[in-house]
Amino acid sequence: MTERKPPGVPFESWVDKQIRDAEARGDFSQLPGAGKPLPGGADTTYDELWWVRQKLAREGFSVLPPTLALRKEAEDALAAAYAAPSERIVRKIITEVNVKIREMMYKPPPGPPLGKKPYDVEDVVREWRERRAGDGSGGTAGPGGPVGPGGSGV
């Protein structure tokens, strides 16, 4: 659309002609979302930062205060620890998140309070063992952790 509007032609009719010509050529037929309703619907109020929110969602970026982000990370770490294949990995996951929780406890950031204390690694390992015994995976926890497939104790 490098063509310039000719002098003396009303802008609106020139734009309408450009759109009609593009439709006739099929320029709009392969656009993503063609024939689908606009996201958000007509019942939502106008948000001037809609594009920022969509970009953040697409990129998987979260704009949570640091304490809330750490709470979420701690919950995710606990779930990952319960799903871990060995006791060694459970201890590693919980120890790493505990370091972050302790740092946040000692130098609180702005925002809501953390409301979380470090996990007791032994309690999490005990719970992990109970869950493993309950689901029939048969892992026994010794000093090196349960022996996984391949006998490596991973």
Instruction: With respect to residue 108, please indicate whether it lies within any of the assigned structural domains.
Output: yes
**Residue 27: phi, psi to the nearest 5?**
-65, -25
Whole-number pLDDT of residue 42? 62
Low-confidence ranges of the chain (pLDDT < 50): 141-154
Instruction: With respect to residue 34, please indicate whether it lies within any of the assigned structural domains.
Output: no
Q: Which domain holds residue 93?
A: 66-134
Instruction: With respect to residue 99, please indicate whether it lies within any of the assigned structural domains.
Output: yes
Instruction: With respect to residue 45, please indicate whether it lies within any of the assigned structural domains.
Output: no
Instruction: With respect to residue 122, please indicate whether it lies within any of the assigned structural domains.
Output: yes
Instruction: With respect to residue 39, please indicate whether it lies within any of the assigned structural domains.
Output: no
**Residue 22: phi, psi to the nearest 5?**
-65, -40
Instruction: With respect to residue 129, please indicate whether it lies within any of the assigned structural domains.
Output: yes
Whole-number pLDDT of residue 127? 93
Report how many domains make up the chain. 1
Whole-number pLDDT of residue 58? 86
pTM of the complete model: 0.47
Instruction: With respect to residue 121, please indicate whether it lies within any of the assigned structural domains.
Output: yes
Whole-number pLDDT of residue 105? 85
Whole-number pLDDT of residue 131? 92
In terms of Cβ atoms closer than 10 Å to its own Cβ (0-12, 13-18, 19+), residue 128 is buried
Whole-number pLDDT of residue 81? 95
- Whole-angstrom CA distances from 122 to 48, 55, 153 are 49, 41, 18
